[in-house]
Structure 1
Amino acid sequence: MKSNLQNLTSRFFAILMTIGLCVSGVSCTDPETTDSTKFAIFYAGVTDIGPSMNFNMSGPTYIGGTPSDFAITRVTLNGEVYDTNCFQIETNTGAISISDTKDLAVGLYALSISCRSNGSFYEFKDIVSVNMMRAIPEGIYVEPNKIKVDFGDIINSESTVELPTAQVTTNGEHISINKYIITNVRKNGELIEKYDFFKISNDGIISITKGKSDITPGKYVLDLKLTTAIVDEEAEEGIFENAVEIDITSQPLSLTYTPNSIKAEENTQNVSTAPTFIGSTDGLVYSIKSTTPQTSMISIEPTTGIITLATDNKLEIGTTCNVSITASNQYGSKDFDNVYTINIVEYIAPISEFNYNDTENIIQATAFEHPVNKIIGGEVTYSFVNLGAQLSDLNIDPTTGTISAKKGNNIPIGEHTITVLAKNNKSELQTSFKLNIQKNPYYFTYIHWGNNLTLSPARNYASQYRVTTKDELSKLSISVADSDIPEGTEVNWAIKESTMGKDETTEMPYAEIDNNGKITFNGGWVNGKVFMLLITATTGKGTPGEITMIVPVFIHCAGAVDGVTVNYTPFVFQVNPRTGGTSASPAISGVEPNLFIADYRRTFNYYNINGPKEHINGQPSKASSFMNKLWNSYYDPKTPNYGQKWPLSYYDDTSSMAKKLGYVDASKNCAITINPNKWQDEKGYANGVMIGQITFVKDGNSKNVSNGNQIFPIAIWFDTKF
């Protein structure tokens, strides 16, 4: 069932309720409207689409109870309310579809979404952004617009085969292209989120990166976002849909049946599951290579790969029959020996009894396993029956029937009825049991230490405090300002990491935290420098419900350097690495503004918070660190220079600013610009903090900036939820 902007009558009273809450002082944009449970949903970043382009966006991730009853409550275009039926939402999942866009006006659309969770109503204003772009000017094309390449040449980083490329070009000289971005990639018609194995250079060459383990055979179609200019006209962005098709071909690579070994009763039929196949599906056919012992009673469906043992097959009890399969496609054939085994037995009992016990109370968000209590029957496979979307974190082992969930799962609190089907070749039987999830008494979702910069609401900003003297730092005491840690819960506090370090003489750390989460300081002052503390808070330590959260707290020692004070407010720039963005410009004193020039210079330290464990802390020169990988990507295919600042410099290597990770933007009064989709590797997007040295001069000469005065005035905090 879908809901759109013009189908909101049924939610009239729910929306009135939200309005009433706003009037009484509760913010509609704060996702905590009707109860004390902290709840929020998160959609992907800005999505670029073009004229006549249809698009499907998956449902949101969330914290708190499982959401449902989604609706679009408002659509705006460039900030103004806009009436359109082009956006629709699936009420159960929150998935959004965009269609009939031929006449949709160009601009940035924002969708406000409402939903329910644990009986409460929530509205999230402008939570989804869709950038409706104009088409690119006529006369731009890709040559060639179709590429075919063998998978084996891509996956082997040592291969000497030169991979094909495609060039974005223009018909004539009346059009220039200033910026190239890959904005959407579809594989076999489905949008994919991760596609860093495709690159586009500053001069429009589309290429494939060798050695990427996450690429698989298939047909990929790329959309490009281009910034173009026609002679005597202003530059503008446009989308180039279906710009190029890249067909990654492969002979058969892998064939797997699950289960791959079964028992069949004497002279009865058995039908396998369909196999999992990796390789090109063009012209794919399956055939029996051999059976051991040889028999004509086993056949295979050539297009699906399903294996059938015929009734009255005359195979004797005790026979173990190994089946070998040949898979062939347009690019070759491969034999998969002994890929399926059939064991002939005298008797397989029909399923006569099947049940699970109801669970004891399982603590919210903890890992658990729940096995079958009793099963009478042979060769049984298990599957869920009509499992609701809110229970999608449940897993079932198809061969044992054990039901499980991982730590951190989002199964809602309450009693759930779970129905399971047990099946074999003779019979099937369903059973249901009660899954009881109780509230985790240690569960919490946020901690905040506030700020002294009058930034409000404080929870929308990092915990950050600015001090202007050594004495002020030594007297600074920061208590927890807000948290949803259950009242009376014991918390283990610790400083996991501190960039402030400790006193070399006394070995005392410059920052400490007490049993109440209060942070105090006894030194560490450095003029013009931002420090970070990574605080861990653990509740329920040593119990199944143990919860640990890592939260950064930031301190800015706002002393002058060479008479100049540079204050960013906020001095922690929270940015989504998918979409990028630009920080606030700093307040600068002690120098003529038009003579102040700054640039990132060195000491680019990254600190992982909640990102992939492979995102190793450190600077670009540290092998295998996250920053090291980002430098590799920037310089690819050239040899990276880890001592060079080009990936973060405004003034060096200015051939393409879009290629950079980010920079101190001289065109925006020294605000920090972070480019989209740069802070990521094959393991995922950044979720952590980068603090780097910025140098500045007071004479307006950019040639001297690399050797200028040194400051660390801002921290960049990356999280895809920003």
Structure 2
Amino acid sequence: MRSKLQNITSRFLAILMVVGLCVTNSSCTDPETTDSTKFALFYAGITDIGPSMSFNLDAPTYIGGAPSDFAITRVTLNGETYDTNSFAIDTNTGSISLSNTSELPVGLYTLSVSCYSNGNYYEFKDIVTINMMKPVPDSISVEPNKISAEFADIISTESTVELPTAQVTTEGDHISIQKYIIANVRKDGVLVEENDFFTISSTGEISIVKGESKIQPGKYVLDLKLTTAIVDEAAEEGIFENAIEIDITSKPLTLTYTPNTVKVEENAQNISAVPTLVGSSEGLTYAIKSVSPTSSSVTIDPVTGVITLAANNQMEIGTTCEVSVTVTNQYGSTDFENAYTMTIVEFINPITKFEYSDTEELIQATAFEHPVKTIDGDEVSFSFVNLDSKLSDLTIDATTGTISAKKGNNIPVGQHTVTVLAKNNKSELQASFKLNIKTNPYYFTYVHWGNNLNLSPAQNYASQYRVTSNNALLSLSIPVAETDIPEGVEVEWTIDNSSSSISGGSIDENGTITFTAGWTNAKVLMILVKATTGKGTAGEITIKTPVFIHCSSAVAGVTVNYTPFVFQVNPRTGGSSVAPTITGTDLSTFIADYRRTFNYYNINGPAEHKNGQPGSGNDTFMYSLWKAYYESIGVASVNTGQKWPLSYYDNTSRLAAPLGYVDATNNCAVKINPNKWQNEYGYANGVMIGQMTFVTDGNSGGVSSGSQMFPLAIWFDTKFQ
């Protein structure tokens, strides 16, 4: 399934892997409850903040019945109970706000939260963690602290214009900065959660990502989290608020009126909606370019862009009036032809009747449509009224009023009230109905096969087993360790061989995995298991889960073991794996680098992310990454047989350019650079297993022809923390 179910699956797997992961990567405790009903509450981690900042934490997600009556039961500071009114919770939604923080001491705050679900009381201790940081030393600055770039130069990969950068600097040499992180990004004062269009290097250079099509014109302000060390003092983290302003400038790009075509009763007034503009707001003005047929009764507000047709306009019935608009800002003007159209009719019926039926019981996570039962009125537009955030997967057709949701939606089980506004130029009415969602008897969110590496809690890690011989591999029998598949539900277990790197794996009717072949010296292998419940029914659910095997053995007398040997990483943010344990050689002369056979296996990514190596075809995901790398370093041709895009030693002067590398400065941990594992179809959601080569004589010039191994699998998912 490539529906939103996969996104839900990824999210719940990520949630379950971190067990309610908070900003400090600590696990939330089990809830205290008055019964044994399965219920869990999860808050997303929030960013580090400074003492003068305010913040809002979105409503939590949950497993089980819809929660209500939220309350904060305890606040601690560095483990001790702390009395403060700076934290408030919305009793209906569970969203948490932080305000009046200027007097709060620096330190680690935890919040315990209670709620009710299905009539039962739950309390989650220390479920939210907030790192209130002190400001960085005054002698740190960003030079320059304001930069600007033209939108067209950013989104075009063909543009030769060099984008501006800024550098974090210190006055004098008594302070050193050891680590740089972008903590928050705000656009025009609003927090931007997906902010992958800005990066900061390991040396403190702030840059704009070339070719980032998701960025929009506007003013962005960045907060930085820095790890600093003052001479003779220990290193510590601090927050650098409002470190830099980045202005993405553009002439007006698009202008959208919703609706942009309306019918107007003869000699009646009509006022358009406020249009949506993409472009810089500095010096923004709207003007009528033309009206056809010409009429002085059509005007536009130069500030808001609202178009008005005056009453008693004398336009004849049947006239189609087309309005073209010119929008001007500080960076240019753009004409938008026929941006708004009005057709004159004899009569517009006011809305006198509007009604939806309550829905029948709809199965959780299945697709549905719910049309309007009764509507009496002309030229009606429909919109939700105060739609609950838990129902955000609902969509409404603004023209017909039909409400729908896609298969795999995340609408909670229970009865929900949905209210819709029907409106035309003469009147408006609201109608409410009951949306009834019943439990999908086949619904589940995860399967896990554990590990034999003593990694705990196991659900935080990929299912992974290390074996040291072929006999050990053939003796493996790996049962399901954990799952939330409902008891008694029949499961179809299959292995997706097209996305597996081993052909000798099999799975029985209970989900137990065994192997008949597959051993490869010093190589990580992967099988992709598909678990399907409710096969052939409306409630059918399929979850894909990778299971990994490491054939650990010495190569040229050297054994390299990463533990875990599956590196789970968010392709948006990147990160570093653990460093391996290396035996059989002098570590001071051990050198490794990625070399060849870079295989990518798509799990839940876009269908266009085709499996294979860079040289398997121009339509593979890996080829698109190779192409992007060569473009970024100014090389026209793509050498799919070259290791450069994943090499350390071929990029020592440009370590921000490659997709990732074996980090010679960090004991051979693998570093993944942010925002590299993506193309025009989206971010990676899959696994890459590539060959490394190594030498033991300290000569990096010979590493490309060194001994060969595949010691690490890199699993990408934007839900990983």
Q: TM-score range by the shorter chain?
A: 0.7 to 0.9
The aligned counterpart of 1:325 is 325
Corresponding position of 2:216: 216
Judging changes above 3 Å, is the alpha-carbon distance between structure 1 residues 423 and 499 closer, same or farther for their aligned structure 2 residues? closer
Residues of 2 paired with 1:602 and 1:540: CA distance? 42
1:398-441 Cα shifts (integer Å, max 9, x gaps):
22111111222222222333332322233333333332212112
> Is contact 1:695–1:706 with CA below 8 Å preserved after alignment?
yes
Q: 1:708: Cα distance to partner?
A: 4.2
Map residues 29-44 of structure 1 onto 2, 5 A cutoff. 29-30=29-30, 34-35=35-36, 37=38, 39-44=40-45
- Tell me if the contact between 2:66 and 2:414 (Cα under 8 Å) persists in the aligned partners: no
Partners of 1:279 and 1:350 in 2: how far apart? 37
Give SS of 2:258's match: coil
Measure how far apart 1:512 and its partner are: 1.9
AA aligned opposite 2:522: G
Report the counterpart of residue 298 of structure 1 in structure 2: 298
Moved more, 686-695 or 277-286: 686-695
Residue 15 of structure 1 corresponds to none
> Per chain length, whose mean CA-contact separation is higher, i.e. which structure has more relative contact order (CA < 8 Å, sep 6+)?
2
Q: Give 3-state SS (helix, strand or coil) of 2:48's partner.
A: strand
Matched residue of 2:159: which SS?
coil
Distance 1:468 1:354 in 2: 70
Is the 1:270–1:309 Cα contact (8 Å) retained in structure 2?
yes
Rounded Cα–Cα distance in structure 1 between residues aligned with 2:615 and 2:77: 45
Q: Residue in 1 aligned with 2:604?
A: 610
Structure 1 position 489 matched with structure 2 position 480: no
1:187 Cα deviation after fit: 1.0
Name the CA distance, whole Å, in 2 between partners of 1:681 and 1:106.
Answer: 41
The sequence identity of aligned pairs, in percent, is 68
> Is 2:427 the partner of 1:427?
yes
The answer as to 2:404 corresponding to 1:410 is no
Q: What's the offset of the Cα at 1:76?
A: 5.6
Is the counterpart of residue 47 in structure 1 residue 47 in structure 2?
A: yes
Query: Do residues 709 (structure 1) and 703 (structure 2) align?
Result: no
For residue 43 of structure 1, report the CA deviation from its aligned partner. 0.8
Equivalent-residue separation in structure 1 for 2:106 and 2:270 (angstroms):
57
Matched AA of 1:439: T
Letter in 1 for 2:528: L
Paired residues of 1:501 and 1:510 also in contact (CA < 8 A): no
Counterpart code for 1:532: M
Q: Deviations over 1:595-654 (max 9, x none)?
A: 766555443433332234454444456657555566677777424776666776677755
Q: Measure how far apart 1:50 and its partner are.
A: 3.3
Q: Is the 8 A contact 1:180 1:200 kept in 2?
A: yes
Partner of 1:505: none
- SS of corresponding position for 1:538: strand
Q: 1:676 to 1:77 in 2, by over 3 A?
A: farther
C-alpha deviation, 1:42, in angstroms: 4.9
Q: Summarize deviations over 1:525-582 as a string: whole Å, max 9, x none.
A: 1222221110111222333222110011122223343444444444334445566666
Pairing 1:687–2:685 present? yes
SS at match of 1:524: coil
CA shift for structure 1 position 348: 1.8
Tell me if structure 2 keeps the 8 A contact 1:187–1:221: yes
Residue 343 of structure 1 and its aligned partner are, at CA, apart by 1.5
Aligned runs of 1:278-293 on 2, under 5 Å?
Answer: 278-293=278-293
- Partner SS state of residue 418, structure 2: strand
SS of structure 1 residue aligned to 2:154: helix
Indicate the residue corresponding to 1:518 in structure 2. 512
Contact kept in structure 1, 2:499 and 2:603, CA below 8 Å: no
Partner Cα separation in structure 2 for residue 675 and residue 112 of structure 1:
35
Moved more, 215-224 or 631-640: 631-640
Report whether the alignment pairs 1:540 with 2:541.
Answer: no
Alpha carbons of structure 1 residues 230 and 653: separation in structure 2 relative to 1, 3 Å? farther
Question: Quick check: 1:268 aligned with 2:263?
Answer: no
Between the aligned partners of 1:553 and 1:402, the Cα distance in structure 2 is 42
Q: Partner letter of residue 556 of structure 1?
A: H
1:446 is aligned to 446
Matches of residues 68-217 of structure 1 in structure 2 within 5 Å? 68-73=68-73, 85-102=85-102, 104-106=104-106, 109=109, 111-122=111-122, 127-177=127-177, 179-201=179-201, 203-217=203-217
Q: Which residue of 2 aligns with 1:571?
A: 565
SS at match of 2:299: strand
Pairwise CA distance, 1:189: 0.9
Moved more, 260-269 or 477-486: 477-486
CA RMSD of aligned residues (A): 3.8
Show the counterpart of 1:554.
548
Question: Match for 1:512: what amino acid?
Answer: S
Change (3 A) 1:178 1:156: same
1:479 maps to 2:479: yes
Q: Name the amino acid aligned to 1:520.
A: T
The answer to whether the Cα contact below 8 Å between 1:500 and 1:511 also exists between their aligned partners in 2 is no
**2:260 partner letter:** N
Task: Give the 5 Å matches for 1:256-405.
Answer: 256-405=256-405
Q: Deviations over 1:500-522 (max 9, x none)?
A: 757xxxxxx41122333232211
Identify the residue that residue 506 of structure 1 maps to in structure 2. Answer: none
> With structure 1 as the length reference, what TM-score do the two structures score?
0.83
Mapped contact 1:48–1:131 kept (Cα < 8 A): yes
Query: SS in structure 2 opposite 1:430?
Result: strand
Whole-angstrom CA distance in 1 between matches of 2:674 and 2:196: 13
Cα separation, 1, equivalents of 2:126 and 2:687: 26
Structure 2: distance between partners of 1:601 and 1:383 = 55
Alpha-carbon deviation of 1:368? 1.1
Task: Tell me how far 1:302 sits from its aligned partner.
Answer: 2.3
Cα 1:36–1:628, aligned 2, differ >3 Å: closer, same or farther?
farther
Equivalent position of 1:24 in the other structure = none
Over 3 Å counting, the alpha-carbon distance change for 1:629 and 1:243 in structure 2 is: farther
Aligned residues: 689
Q: 1:648 to 1:86 in 2, by over 3 A?
A: farther
Decide whether aligned partners of structure 1 residues 451 and 335 sit closer, same or farther in structure 2, where only a CA change above 3 A counts: closer
Unaligned runs of 5+ in 2: 1-26
In structure 1, C-alpha distance between the alignment counterparts of 2:204 and 2:667, rounded to whole Å = 30
Please list the CA deviations of residues 355-388 of structure 1 after superposition, one character each: whole Å capped at 9, or x if unmatched: 2223222111111111112222211222233433
